[in-house]
Amino acid sequence: MSAGGGVRRGGLLSPAGTVYLVALLGSTALALKPFPPAERVLDALLLPTRVLPELAAPLAWARASSVRAAEHALAAAAEEEEGRIALALEEARRACLPTDPELLAGRRRIHGEVVGRSPQGLDRVVVRLASLRGVEAGLPVVSGDAYLGRIAALDADGRREATLDLVTGADFLVGARLVATGAGVEGESTARMVVGGLAPRVAAPGAGGSEGGAGAGRSAEDHRLAVHNPSPRNVSFGDVLVDEPRPADHGGLGDRWSWLANGYRLGTLEAAGIGRGRRLLRVRPELDYRGGLHQVIVLAPSAGDGDGEEVGEALATLDPSRWLAARVLAPSSLSPRRDGLRLAAGRWSGVREGAAVAFGARLVGVVEHAGWATADVRLLGDPGLSLTLLARLAGEPAPRSVGEVTVLGRDALGAVRLRWEARLPLGGVGAEPVEAELLTGSGRSGVPAGLLVGHALLPRGAGTHELSVRSDARVERLLRLKVHRALVGEGAAP
């Protein structure tokens, strides 16, 4: 450059040269694929240009009185909300226990929480267990009276985590028997079969309305379990229960512990017409295996000291040590079409991508990018944000799993619009939508279960629905929030 440019005279180490170097590095980084070391250098170099102008802005001064009023009102409601959420999480824990006493005898029960999908595929999930005492590969995993799958492997780093193979896996097989609807564990077998993997899709609803009507949609259709080698083949309906022989009885289709799941439900048998008088037998499950898993139970053989229950510590959603206080620098750090904000906290203080941002017990958003000293947050109304939700329905103590939803944006009144693919009908009395309080569920790393999202009317049928969620927008205008963080030894970033 010429002397008039100011760089040659001062060199690259002069103030002007530093600005030129930063600009050059920035333009180079934008032209290439992301390179983490370069991004960290740029974060440090560009920190003054990000933080200082915002600190000098009169934004906080102009909004100080309204912010203080909002903080006072929200804080006054926080204690009641936290108590309600703690109760909901405890009810969810109880709801994952079997209801039939026959399913408890001779089995030790180890509680666990789904923390995310395994990188090895959709048919594997990672669960965090209350205890590893007596846990090994092959132990069955259930939720309530429903069978989920079996432990595939324990975490190699010694954390209380295990990988669970779901019954939806293409190579998964488990023995089963058919009993009359509602007969339960003591019901007489009318057929035997093998269940595992997903059944082929059928273009049209099966005979007798087994699809639940054309409005059930593809989401419900994709969720059926495959039936193999039924005997006899002329059965059409009933309850399908796990039925595995003990190792002494020629061995099972899983391993030596599969029999511990005997009597647990796989779902309801149904027959779908596939043309020319042929039928396809399959099982309609009672759980959404893809996005609706929350609390689980690992079944282990009795250790001789009673058929105990391993509960472990309470869920850490509201544990103050799991949250980092952070100040808001700017109300928006994303593009004009996005909904976000920037925090004055970054990787140096433990903030990681995917971490929940909250005020009290209310979810505000999720960290999208964590720099060295600042972090960009996607607010609840940012289009494309995905969450896993629970629903507390009116008149029901334990929350139901809603599964995964995707944010579509906000409507004209400020309500958050969500797309919900209900793979299973919500059920209940009547056909009208039911009022629900929506909470975050398990399965997304960094977003703990139980944070309050808002209120909505939930349709009862399966299929794709658009929800309108009413939430308190004041939390997005506050200047002091908190970020969820992982504790040392948990391994994965929050």
Q: Strands 309-310 and 107-117: what pairing?
A: parallel
Residue 351: pLDDT band with limits 50, 70, 90: very high
Query: Mean pLDDT throughout 174-191?
Result: 92
- Model-wide pTM > 0.85: no
Q: Strands 265-273 and 191-198: what pairing?
A: unpaired
Query: What does the pLDDT look like over 381-414, one tens digit per residue?
Result: 999 999 999 999 887 878 888 888 999 999 988 8
Fold agreement (106-306, 320-484): yes
**Is residue 483 within 8 Å of 323, Cβ to Cβ?**
yes
167 has a pLDDT exceeding 90 = yes
The class of domain 106-306 in CATH terms is: mainly beta
Q: Which two tokens stand for residue 402?
A: 């809603």
32 has a pLDDT exceeding 70 = no
3-state secondary structure 14-34: CHHHHHHHHHHHHHHHHHCCC
C-alpha triplet 339, 342, 343: angle, nearest 5°: 140
Q: What is the pLDDT of residue 14?
A: 39
Dihedral of the CA atoms 388, 392, 398, 403 (nearest 10)?
-20
Q: Give strand pairing partners of 407.
A: 418
Choose the weakest-confidence range: 114-128, 196-210, 273-287.
196-210
The CA distance from 293 to 421, in Å, is 15
Q: Single out the residue of 359, 316, 389 nearest to residue 479, CA to CA.
A: 359
Q: Which two tokens stand for residue 298?
A: 């690992």
Q: Single out the residue of 486, 471, 442, 474 nearest to residue 117, CA to CA.
A: 442
Choose the weakest-confidence range: 28-37, 38-47, 407-416.
28-37
Q: Give strand pairing partners of 449.
A: none
| Region of residue 102 (phi > 0: left; psi between -120 and 50: alpha; otherwise: beta) | alpha
Q: What is the pLDDT of residue 81?
A: 82
19 has a pLDDT exceeding 50 = no
DSSP per-residue string spanning 350-399 = T--TT-EEEETTEEEEEEEEE-SS-EEEEETT-TT-EEEEEEEETT-SSP
- CATH number of the domain located at residue range(s) 320-484 in this protein: 2.40.10.340
Q: What is the pLDDT of residue 39?
A: 53
**Is residue 411 within 8 Å of 468, Cβ to Cβ?**
yes
Q: What is the pLDDT of residue 47?
A: 55
Dihedral of the CA atoms 284, 288, 290, 295 (nearest 10)?
-130
Matching residue, tokens 């103590």:
397
Residue 44 sits at φ, ψ, to 5 deg, of -70, -45
Residue 153: pLDDT band with limits 50, 70, 90: very high
The CA distance from 81 to 415, in Å, is 20
- For the chain, the domains span 3-33, 106-306, 320-484
**Sequence-distant contacts of 115-120: CB under 8 A, at least 24 apart:** 115/161, 115/442, 115/443, 115/445, 115/492, 116/443, 116/444, 116/445, 116/492, 117/443, 118/163, 120/163
Choose the weakest-confidence range: 161-165, 232-236, 264-268, 329-333.
329-333
Buried b (16+ CB within 10 A) or exposed e, 459-473: bbbbbebebbbebeb
Q: Which two tokens stand for residue 207?
A: 């005979």
Q: Which two tokens stand for residue 56?
A: 């000098």
Dihedral of the CA atoms 180, 287, 419, 219 (nearest 10)?
-60
Residue 150 sits at φ, ψ, to 5 deg, of -145, 155
Q: What is the pLDDT of residue 358?
A: 92
In this structure, which amino acid lies at residue 77? A
Choose the weakest-confidence range: 193-207, 368-382, 403-417, 464-478.
193-207
Q: Single out the residue of 452, 332, 333, 480 nearest to residue 387, CA to CA.
A: 452
Query: What does the pLDDT look like over 241-285, one tens digit per residue?
Result: 999 987 765 555 556 889 999 999 999 999 888 777 788 999 999
Choose the weakest-confidence range: 18-32, 84-98, 250-264, 378-392.
18-32
Query: What does the pLDDT look like over 284-305, one tens digit per residue?
Result: 998 888 878 888 999 998 866 5
**Is residue 437 within 8 Å of 389, Cβ to Cβ?**
no
**Is residue 352 within 8 Å of 402, Cβ to Cβ?**
no
Matching residue, tokens 């600005």:
19
**Is residue 351 within 8 Å of 483, Cβ to Cβ?**
yes
Q: Give strand pairing partners of 482.
A: 325, 358
173 has a pLDDT exceeding 50 = yes
Query: At 90, is the secondary structure helix, strand, or coil?
Result: helix
The CA distance from 204 to 208, in Å, is 12
In this structure, which amino acid lies at residue 111? H
Residue 93: pLDDT band with limits 50, 70, 90: confident
Alpha helices (H) along 264-338: none
Q: Across all residues in the chain, what is the average pLDDT? A: 78
* Most confident segment among 38-47, 76-85, 255-264, 330-339: 255-264
Counted residue by residue, the chain has a size of 494
**Is residue 202 within 8 Å of 272, Cβ to Cβ?**
yes
